[in-house]
Amino acid sequence: MDKEKLELIVFDIVNSAGTAKGLAYEALGEAEKGNYEEAEKLLKEADKSLLAAHNIQTEIIQAETSGDNMEVSVLFVHAQDHLMTAVEAKSLIECMIKMYRRIENLEKK
């Protein structure tokens, strides 16, 4: 895989992961205000961005299994790090939103 294509892949992963992470934090903010429906919409948008990044990863894996090996660079590792932290942030934020709902329900009792 040539350097230019690798740079585009890195940019796409970082962009998709950053978008997903930002949307997840927006969802958390909406949940803090009690806007759970909006929070769920934002989480679904985050899922779309994470899926886009996952699809890029799948392309890389398929290319490598076909013999088109890619040079692992610091930039690529950085992109993977962005993706992993976005996945983890979204997962944790989903748990936090569930807790907000539970707390709100308990406060209403």
Q: Which residues are catalytic?
A: 78
* Closest listed residue to residue 79, CA positions, set 3, 12, 4: 12
The Cα–Cα gap between 52 and 75 comes to: 18
**Strand stretches in 1-109, DSSP E:** none
12 belongs to an annotated ligand binding site = no
Would the CA dihedral through 96, 97, 100, 106 be positive or negative? negative
Please report where in the chains the tokens 């996952």 appear, as a residue. Answer: 54
In whole angstroms, give the CA distance from residue 20 to residue 3: 26
Residue ranges for the binding site for Mg(2+)? 81
- Binding-site entries: 81
